[in-house]
Amino acid sequence: MFDFGLGYTELVVIALVAIIVIGPKDLPRVLRGLGRMMNKMRGMAREFQGHMDAAMKEAGLDEVKRDLQSLKNPVSAVKDSVVSELNKQDESFKKYFGTLNDAAKPAPSGASDTTRAIAGTPAPSAEPPAAAAKADGEPADLKQAS
Tens-digit pLDDT profile for residues 86-144:
888 888 888 888 777 777 776 555 555 555 555 555 555 545 555 444 445 555 555 45
Note the pLDDT tens digit of each residue in 45-61. 999 999 988 887 887 77
- The answer to whether the beta carbons of residues 84 and 92 sit under 8 Å apart is no
As a whole number of angstroms, the distance between CA 107 and CA 16 comes to 86
Q: Enter the pTM of the model.
A: 0.36
How many CB atoms neighbour CB 92 within 10 A?
A: 10
With H, G, I as helix, E, B as strand and everything else as coil, classify residue 84: helix
Per-residue confidence at 78, pLDDT binned at 50, 70, 90?
Answer: confident
As a whole number of angstroms, the distance between CA 64 and CA 115 comes to 71
Q: Which of 1, 45, 40 is nearest to 53 (CA)?
A: 45
